[in-house]
Amino acid sequence: MERIALDQLAWYESTLLRMDGVVHGFGTKGTSIEAVAAALGFSHERIARLHQVHGATVHSLKTVPTGLLTGDALLTVVPDLVLQVKTADCLPILLQGLAPLSSGALPQRARLRLRRFGCHALGASDLHWRSAPPRAPRNHARSDWQSLRRRRIRLWRKFLARHHFPQRRTRGCLEECAEWSLLVGAIHAGWRGLAAGVITAALREARGQYGVAPGSIRCAIGPSMGPNCYEVGHEVIEALTEAGHDPKLIARKGERDRWWLNLASCARAELIRGGVAPDRIDVSPNCTHCSAEEFHSYRRTRERSGRQYSFIALRASVD
């Protein structure tokens, strides 16, 4: 991950998620979400806020929310909507994936193709349709529709080249790619959220609501308490074991009934079980407990601890 500094603000970006049309970051001390949004050109009214409860509730946002949502994960394909989670020692997880455009936004010929192929089964490897591009919808001027299609084709050409998707660079391939959109998401996951299955719930919601195949998803796991600092009791290991985690892979035994837990390994294992490719998961090496100058840590300062904000958003237009 790369540290980004802008004026008095600082955050970390994952090179895995860096692409045209998406902005994201894992915040540090003293970097508020309002200040970051303003610096990146987003309105503070278009920030989705969560009351986090260490559960597995996922919100799929089709519009800008008007109030505080209760849950631990957010998903959207809405442009210029900033998704954010706040953490101190827990995991912030940001993701992006490929979503077929909603059937109501496509002309009839495109809807028929989506129905034929089954949008829930489509992933990055399915971007190779070779039929003719759809005609302009009646409610769009032809020149406007062609301009929009060309812009989407440019975006997906960059996406295919930079992210190493199958390189079928035919005219039909790129024109069909213009019928896809990006989904972005933000997840808050502590050990309770991992035991509740918040990551699995988010992947299931992405597929059920947006048709996003796990194989097209890329994830970045941000700074959290590291495996050499996060000491837990046997009840935590038991809860994670009941959720399907192998204790030998996620923790090492300490003294007596104590264990040293690797939160990032838990999250990575759950992502892989959910169908995300291992080489599409980026894990930050930063420990919030050790890096007192950069990060807040609840375990280090308890009730006096602040929170750092992690964010991801789609831009409305790409040049």
- Higher pLDDT among residues 31 and 196, named by residue: 196
Phi, psi of 106 (to 5 degrees): -110, 150
At 61 the pLDDT is 92
At 201 the pLDDT is 94
Gap between the terminal Cα atoms of the chain: 25
Q: What is the pLDDT of residues 26-62, one digit of tens each?
A: 988 888 889 988 888 888 889 999 999 999 999 999 8
At 272 the pLDDT is 93
Q: Of 65-74, 91-100, 102-111, 227-236, give the lowest mean pLDDT range.
A: 102-111
Q: What is the pLDDT of residues 265-307, one digit of tens each?
A: 999 999 999 999 999 999 999 998 888 888 888 888 777 777 8
At 152 the pLDDT is 64
Task: Tell me the CATH class for 2-99+181-224+280-314.
Answer: alpha beta
Helices 198-210/263-273 angle, 10° precision:
30
Residue 181: is its pLDDT beyond 90?
A: no
Residue 245: is its pLDDT beyond 60?
A: yes
Q: What is the pLDDT of residues 88-106, one digit of tens each?
A: 889 999 999 888 765 333 3
Give the domain ranges of the chain: 2-99+181-224+280-314, 102-178
Residue 229: is its pLDDT beyond 80?
A: yes
Residues of the chain with pLDDT > 90: what percent? Answer: 34
User: For the whole model, what pTM was predicted?
Assistant: 0.76
Residue 146: pLDDT band (50, 70, 90) is: low
Q: Give 127's contacts (C-beta < 8 A, 6+ positions apart).
A: 98, 156, 160, 165, 166, 168, 173, 176, 177, 180
At 57 the pLDDT is 93
- Average of per-residue pLDDT across 66-78: 91
Residue 313: pLDDT band (50, 70, 90) is: very high
At 260 the pLDDT is 92
